[in-house]
Chain A
């Protein structure tokens, strides 16, 4: 465990270039974490018995049932239902923000989360794809259970430029239209589009039979608003520039931000989605185990 933090520490990860190496380091950390936490196997839930057919792994035969019924049955587990997971990564311009004290931009942080999820999913014999979007879907990697999916993710992220405006509502609808099977969608975004329709779109995701996790990635400065001298705020995604004395509005801003976060969390809850919040200076060692323990390793919720 003593080596774990370095894999998850954003400061450490930020110093590693290119993304492929950074992702590998994180993945190693995740692997080490899974090994040490013995999550593997324990999270595979028993589903039913089925009659043995030739070719089945003899290790899966339930010998107790055989002793009682004199017939061969094998145990069938939930993970065998072949989970399909899509990390949906917001690559709009607002994700390119990095505060003075943050080691990574929100997008860089989101990319690492996506890599970690993809790795965990594929390591469970499930399939993971990738969708990136801003005001519309930009990249759609079909799901794959092979290890090459990690290389695909890194390749996509390395060519990604955060520059467009966000339209979560439109992007989510577009994703729903493109999905053929029920999937686990992990939405990684800052949720700062200012458009409230996407919160309604969350419900559509659930109604369409998909499972949804919302991970809101924010910079610490966006929460604490630590500025003390007069500041010119240059808006991203085409928003205007404003000048103000931050000290005069800091308290009001912090209150408004807290309300916004609560509202999003509440909306996710109402939509049946799990909500997680991460700040870019937060160690992934804290965030990822929570995420993995609560959802991914348990598989798809019925």
Chain B
């Protein structure tokens, strides 16, 4: 509340003037003291009158002086705490130049802020310096909140505070993350702070928001023309918003935009296709940029490329897999002004051989499937396929197999269903074929007891010419067909399939034109189950039913092989994520209490394993704020590397001009505004400060007078 009392004289906290009433306390005490007296008959009156005559003038003077000093002390104190200001005729302001302000200081923490600047340091450190400068120069009485624009944005100092020392300590510890920056969540935090401040009478009424950013388009586009526009306008109505652009000069910046591997679960001896997409994010050409391929942080290949301004280059490597185990393949380009985007990682699991067990409905009924998986068996084949009937597998050790394929019509008993369930949970892959020989009641009963497939079989769909829908080839099951419409996928003959009622966690890989899925998968524990709802046939079965002619079509072999490959890759896909996404893992033995997770920066986190209803241990790590390799160490000695990469959108240095911001946020005069906000007070001593000096002088005078009078009284 700012109140102008006289022309030019105003008070930041006029209600504090009420304390001025306290100035009358000495006067009241004085008068009360005068009223209390007692009477004495006095003999030595001549002497007393002589003394009084001699001393009365001095006493009266001292009394009034003391009274005035004490009243003045209280009055000056009341005026000082009321934050006075005086606007002189020439426009100069004396005293506190403005009422106190609640500052909401937002620092762009996206990884593009890590770009180095020619003056030394980074854009982020320059932003921090500006924030610290503002805090240091802000007058007493200002409150602060600090937040960092991130994905999502987070409050650093969420509760407004007047304690600038602690605010500075928090700001000093800030580090940019490898995220982007989400303005929507930042504006939500700002709005919350404003609303809460309105309800707290002790906080300043005036709110000013300062945003320090490199104005990356990725951050600001939602404000300029997207969903954040409305929130921004509301914010600018409720507070004075200023954007301080800290834009680095155009310096070389290259990055690994993508790192693609032909599979995440290759076998030993298999040659992995590795494609590295390198992008030049700057407008400066680059020749001879080294691109290095590493496996487990050891360089295995390198190449030099030329990049045109803002151009991209695809670098292909072939990476032979020599030994089994978990590996991290990474691509790295040379150092530049923004190191964060110079590397990219992919976690893979190399197997010695792919072991597949086909469980047949009856002897030899699975031959088609075996042929589809390994059409030309060779001694050095990476497939090791075996067929067994249901009776034979009763005693089978499931741990000997990577993939189990259930032929159409296999009837499982409860014990076998239980064993398959455990097999998948422990990381196995299960392919289930459903066709004319399937007994839906048996499956549905088992599914009700223990959900393995993730759906109930409703019944065979009507017989018609179904057409396969590849669903934009998003699924790895059909992704190799992308760009090859004549490869036979879409024209695959399909006449009938099972209709299902699926759980939400069941994902459709291949659909049909009648919105009924053909291939679905579901993750369970460390493994996954992929179901074909129309088992491949080469013609009419032994009962004369024809559901499809998939096995006779050219798409059969790649489709079946991709199904198994995609299924196996699913178990490794969870090892690869992006910054901000949680890492998750599990252990079959939930009795293992903790997992030790080592972050790329070397930080160590002990994660407690939560037990799922199925008894499986499960852990989750949310703070993937930096890209790189996170290694999970299990109590049994197993170490699984997780690769976390950043979105390179922030590296593409498209920026939003401050003028483009709606209701322009005072972006142009941000620096001037900042200077005005903090600097004026720093240069001119506040009137309140002068008043405090006066107060100190009055206190000293009162003490001296009191001591003098006291001495005389003794």
- Whether A194 and B46, one on each chain, are in contact in the complex, defined by CB atoms closer than 8 angstroms, is yes
- Whether B44 and A231, one on each chain, are in contact in the complex, defined by CB atoms closer than 8 angstroms, is no
- Of A110-118, A143-151, A236-244, the stretch lying at the interface with chain B is A236-244
CB distance from B43 to the nearest CB of A (A): 4
- Whether B43 and A97, one on each chain, are in contact in the complex, defined by CB atoms closer than 8 angstroms, is yes
- Whether A256 and B45, one on each chain, are in contact in the complex, defined by CB atoms closer than 8 angstroms, is no
Q: Scoring B residues 684 to 707 as 1 if CB is less than 8 Å from chain A, else 0, what string do you get? A: 000000000000000000000000
A233 to B44, CA, bound (A): 10
Q: Which residues in window 230-276 of B have CB below 8 A to A?
A: none
- Whether A232 and B37, one on each chain, are in contact in the complex, defined by CB atoms closer than 8 angstroms, is yes
Interfacial chain B residues near A49, Cβ < 8 Å: none
- Whether A239 and B47, one on each chain, are in contact in the complex, defined by CB atoms closer than 8 angstroms, is no
From B33, B41, B44, B59, A234 is in contact (CB under 8 Å) with B41
Which residue on chain A has the smallest CB distance to residue B37?
Answer: A230
- Does residue B39 face the partner (Cβ distance < 8 Å to A)? yes
- Does residue A250 face the partner (Cβ distance < 8 Å to B)? yes
From A106, A193, A219, A245, B46 is in contact (CB under 8 Å) with A193
- Whether A97 and B51, one on each chain, are in contact in the complex, defined by CB atoms closer than 8 angstroms, is no
CB distance from B164 to the nearest CB of A (A): 49
A253 to B50, CA, bound (A): 9
- Whether B38 and A231, one on each chain, are in contact in the complex, defined by CB atoms closer than 8 angstroms, is yes
- Whether B38 and A229, one on each chain, are in contact in the complex, defined by CB atoms closer than 8 angstroms, is yes
Q: Which residues in window 25-58 of B have CB below 8 A to A?
A: 33-34, 36-52, 54-56
Given contacts A248-B59, A249-B55, contact A94 B47 (CB under 8 A): no
Given contacts A247-B713, A249-B59, contact A256 B47 (CB under 8 A): yes
CB distance from B44 to the nearest CB of A (A): 5
- Whether A233 and B38, one on each chain, are in contact in the complex, defined by CB atoms closer than 8 angstroms, is no
Interfacial chain A residues near B713, Cβ < 8 Å: 247-248, 250-251
- Whether B39 and A234, one on each chain, are in contact in the complex, defined by CB atoms closer than 8 angstroms, is yes
From A193, A232, A239, A250, B40 is in contact (CB under 8 Å) with A232
CB distance from A143 to the nearest CB of B (A): 30
Q: Which residues in window 57-71 of B have CB below 8 A to A?
A: 59, 62-63
Interfacial chain B residues near A248, Cβ < 8 Å: 55, 59, 62-63, 709, 713
Chain A contact residue count (CB 8 A cutoff): 37
Interfacial chain A residues near B712, Cβ < 8 Å: 251-252
- Whether A252 and B40, one on each chain, are in contact in the complex, defined by CB atoms closer than 8 angstroms, is no
- Does residue A222 face the partner (Cβ distance < 8 Å to B)? yes
Q: Which residues in window 163-201 of A have CB below 8 A to B?
A: 190, 192-194
- Whether A233 and B51, one on each chain, are in contact in the complex, defined by CB atoms closer than 8 angstroms, is no
A229 to B49, CA, bound (A): 18
Which residue on chain B has the smallest CB distance to residue A106?
Answer: B43
Q: Using C-beta atoms within 8 Å of the partner chain, give the interface range for chain B.
A: 20 to 34
Which residue on chain A has the smallest CB distance to residue B59?
Answer: A248
Interfacial chain B residues near A251, Cβ < 8 Å: 712-714
- Whether A192 and B51, one on each chain, are in contact in the complex, defined by CB atoms closer than 8 angstroms, is no
Interfacial chain B residues near A233, Cβ < 8 Å: 39-40, 42, 45, 48
CB distance from A188 to the nearest CB of B (A): 15
- Whether A236 and B39, one on each chain, are in contact in the complex, defined by CB atoms closer than 8 angstroms, is no
- Whether A231 and B40, one on each chain, are in contact in the complex, defined by CB atoms closer than 8 angstroms, is yes
- Whether A249 and B38, one on each chain, are in contact in the complex, defined by CB atoms closer than 8 angstroms, is no
Which residue on chain B has the smallest CB distance to residue A250?
Answer: B713
Which residue on chain A has the smallest CB distance to residue B46?
Answer: A194
From A190, A194, A229, A252, B37 is in contact (CB under 8 Å) with A229
- Whether A253 and B51, one on each chain, are in contact in the complex, defined by CB atoms closer than 8 angstroms, is yes
Q: Scoring B residues 500 to 517 as 1 if CB is less than 8 Å from chain A, else 0, what string do you get? A: 000000000000000000
From B36, B56, B59, A230 is in contact (CB under 8 Å) with B36
Interfacial chain A residues near B37, Cβ < 8 Å: 229-232, 243
Q: Which residues in window 217-237 of A have CB below 8 A to B?
A: 219, 222, 227, 229-237
- Does residue A56 face the partner (Cβ distance < 8 Å to B)? no
A60 to B598, CA, bound (A): 133
- Does residue A257 face the partner (Cβ distance < 8 Å to B)? yes
A251 to B59, CA, bound (A): 12
- Whether A190 and B47, one on each chain, are in contact in the complex, defined by CB atoms closer than 8 angstroms, is no
A18 to B352, CA, bound (A): 135
A7 to B46, CA, bound (A): 34
Give chain B's interface residues, CB within 8 Å of chain A: 33-34, 36-52, 54-56, 59, 62-63, 709, 712-714
The 8 closest A-B pairs by CB, nearest first: A194-B46, A97-B43, A239-B45, A94-B43, A235-B45, A230-B37, A233-B42, A232-B39
Q: What would 14 A/B residue contacts be, using CB atoms closer than 8 Å?
A: A95-B43, A97-B42, A192-B43, A193-B46, A229-B36, A230-B37, A232-B37, A233-B39, A233-B40, A234-B40, A237-B45, A244-B56, A249-B51, A252-B51
Give chain A's interface residues, CB within 8 Å of chain B: 94-97, 106, 190, 192-194, 219, 222, 227, 229-237, 239-240, 242-245, 247-253, 256-257, 260
13 other A-B residue contacts (CB within 8 Å) besides A106-B43, A233-B39, A247-B713: A95-B43, A97-B41, A190-B44, A229-B37, A230-B33, A235-B42, A236-B45, A242-B45, A242-B49, A243-B37, A249-B52, A250-B713, A256-B47
